[in-house]
Amino acid sequence: MHFLDQAKIFVRSGAGGPGAVSFRREKFMEYGGPDGGNGGKGGDIVFEAVAGLNTLIDFRYTQHFRAERGHGGAGANRTGAGGEDTVIKVPVGTQILSDDKEHVLADFTEVGQRRVFLRGGDGGRGNMSYKSSTNRAPRQHGTGWPAEEMWVWLRLKLLADAGLVGLPNAGKSTFINAVTNAKAKVGDYPFTTTRPQLGVVSHRDREFVIADIPGLIEGAAEGAGIGDRFLGHIERCRVLLHLVDADGEDPVAAYRTVMGELDAYGAGLADKPQVLALNKVDTLDEELTAELADMLRAESGADVLPLSGATGAGLDAVLDRLLEEIAPPAPAADQAGDDKPWSPL
């Protein structure tokens, strides 16, 4: 299945059905009069977040969604049937943006979340509703309220607990392959990852979701390389795992570049909790690894964990740190055996 995280679609609710113009004419019935019923309500455009979807690829082939129009009223004061709603199913994490992408109109973060996005028009009035003491035989009727329509953008932001960031060839794909069942492409050239990858990590009887995005280069926030398009997929992550290539030309400069792009993108990415890891330490001796770790520690002010995604060295320590940030352990019960729930008060 191809991955698609943006799509533009046209949505239109159903117009209301017209009211009827009808007069009662029955044999042996002494009184007649208007009996035209109202028109039916038009169908709504409804968005629903469902499980099992992680791409917007279906919207590449189906881009127009229209709800059914309400049916017309009838004689004997019969109201027309309402139009059928059109339910558009989207992945969890989908946002609906205005045509100019300036406004977020809806945000779906939970399975089963539904929203009536465009309401169908109300049905028109039948001629019976126009009857009065001075207008005993009205012939006017309502045509029904018009439909609502608009173009919108769908943007998918994958929901993950942890996000991987780093320069191209920092070893992100190797890492996610080592700790999950993901089958990310690995190669000795930049941008082997061209679309986000999701994987589920099982560690110490707990599970969390980790997302790998294409590598960042200087100027990504302005569109260089693959650009900042995929950074939106880590906006909702609780923690970022920042991988720095120990075998690169200048690991400290690499760290600065990625942090600069996160800051330029905004959305609070630069301020998210981070776990900083010096990757590919299997290619260096211990002395050089310690020297590079000290330099990164001085630059970032954070602990630097040595890591080798290829050999597995340091994986447990990195995953432990990620778990601490994602779900800190609950305070231990006091020694007196009080089993009341812990409270800071």
- Binding-site residue set for GTP: 166-173, 212-215, 279-282, 308-310
**C-alpha to C-alpha distance for 12 and 64, rounded to whole angstroms:** 8
Tokens 């109201």, located at residue: 79
Q: What are phi and psi of 341, to 5 degrees?
A: -60, 140
Beta-carbon contacts of 286 under 8 Å, excluding residues fewer than 6 positions away, are none
Measure CA 290 to chain center: 40
Read off the DSSP letter of residue 20: P
d(CA 304, CA 81): 66
Pairing of strands 206-212, 162-165: parallel
282: number of Cβ within 10 Å:
17
Strand partners, 244: 278
Rounded to whole angstroms, how far apart are CA atoms 329 and 202?
Answer: 17
Q: Which residues are annotated as a binding site?
A: 166-173, 193, 212-215, 279-282, 308-310
Q: Give the other-Cβ count within 10 Å of 97's Cβ.
A: 18
Q: How far apart are CA 65 and CA 60, in angstroms?
A: 13
Please state, in angstroms and as integers, the Cα–Cα distance from residue 345 to each residue in 80, 158, 328, 339, 342, following that order. Answer: 60, 36, 19, 16, 9
Residue in the block written with tokens 């930049």: 190
Annotated binding-site ranges for Mg(2+): 173, 193
Query: Residue 8: which region, alpha, beta or left (left: phi > 0; alpha: psi -120 to 50)?
Result: beta
Query: Residue 29's CB: how many other CB atoms inside 10 A?
Result: 8
Among residues 155, 157, 159, which one has the least CA distance to residue 232? 157
Q: What is the DSSP letter of 78?
A: B
